[in-house]
Amino acid sequence: MRVIEIEGGSGPAEALRVAERPDPSPGPGEILIRVRAAGINRPDLLQRKGAYPPPTGASDVLGLEVAGEVASVGDGVERWSVGDRVCALLGGGGYADLAVVDARHALLIPDGLDFAQGAVLPETTFTVFANVFEAGGLKAGETLLIHGATSGIGVTAIQMAKAAGARVIATSRGAKKAEAALSLGADVSLDATGGDLSAAIADAGGADVVLDMVGEDYAELNLQSLKPGGRWVVIATLTGWEARVDLRRIMVRRLTLTGSTLRARPADEKARLAQAVEATAWPWVASGAVRPPIERTFPLEEASAAHALLEAGDHIGKIVLIP
């Protein structure tokens, strides 16, 4: 099978190359997926640069989510059969013709979705559910503030929050992205490059939950934006991971600051998340309420160009490889 390997160098053009490897076989409790589409995510960029190594036992090949047909099943797998159309969360190995995955981390692609649409769901829906709804405790009628609202995670968070009956304030860089966030369902969409962002969020009523992918530069803004009892959830630190926080304000206003990553979670925890996402978010996907937009697709051999587009930051939604 073909895979994309990291050859060396931090830039996508010199770092990524197509290579051949033996076809893998599923072990007990695993399935083999013939990959028809693979989502690209920012952790892939970090791994390419040597800053986010795969967990112990995971493939060294890039790629955290795929969609395709089940090609074979390992011992003990009862739910899946050869030919089933599935998408799955991986610890690695998605940039390939074939990928092995824990059978519990796969979900059936809802009718009406193609493989590219299926491939952009696992990483985003699992992340949003775990952080916005579980750690953040977002409820119907509350307000979610999303920074980086037109990223793959951001667009999914907008749609999932609206499907759950919440209100959304979105921030993104530039008028084009602000307009896109509105079109995806945000109630208030703010251009982070213009005006007093803190004042604009306050005018919009503030937030019960903040989904933060910015990090250091927005620490003070998040404290200002949260209502009493609010929850600040950090899932990325694009501007840095060290921030000065006034703990007294957290105590006095009864705020919660939390964060997480997804890739390194134990297999059993990911299986639990898969069940929760299937029960809660999959009906929204099936109805069309959650349908993350795809900026562009690339053939597998153009993975370097796909990485360059993601790094440029001008995209809206997801970028996908098509083996």
**DSSP-assigned letters across all residues of 2-17:** EEEEE-SSSSHHHHEE
Q: Concatenated DSSP letters for 290-301?
A: ----EEEEEEGG
Which pLDDT value is given to residue 169? 98
Which pLDDT value is given to residue 13? 85
Which pLDDT value is given to residue 11? 87
14 and 116 housed in the same domain: yes
Q: Write out the residue range of the structural domain in which residue 49 sits.
A: 2-121+292-322
307 and 235 housed in the same domain: no
Q: Tell which residue, 137, 135, 139, 104, has the closest CA to residue 122.
A: 104
In a domain, residue 43? The reply is: yes
Domains identified in the chain, total number: 2
42 and 66 housed in the same domain: yes
Which pLDDT value is given to residue 65? 98
Q: Tell which residue, 181, 178, 24, has the closest CA to residue 100.
A: 24
- Predicted confidence (pLDDT) per residue in 194-240, tens digit: 889 999 999 999 999 999 999 999 999 999 999 999 999 999 998 99
142 and 240 housed in the same domain: yes
178 and 84 housed in the same domain: no
Q: Which of 259, 282, 313 is the last residue of a domain?
A: 259
39 and 95 housed in the same domain: yes
CA atoms of 119 and 282, how far apart (whole Å): 14
What's the whole-model pTM score? 0.96
Residue 250 has pLDDT above 80, yes or no: yes
How large is the average pLDDT for residues 27-56? 95
56 and 71 housed in the same domain: yes
14 and 77 housed in the same domain: yes
- Predicted confidence (pLDDT) per residue in 113-160, tens digit: 999 999 999 999 999 999 999 999 999 999 999 999 999 999 999 999
117 and 131 housed in the same domain: no
Which pLDDT value is given to residue 238? 86
Which pLDDT value is given to residue 85? 98
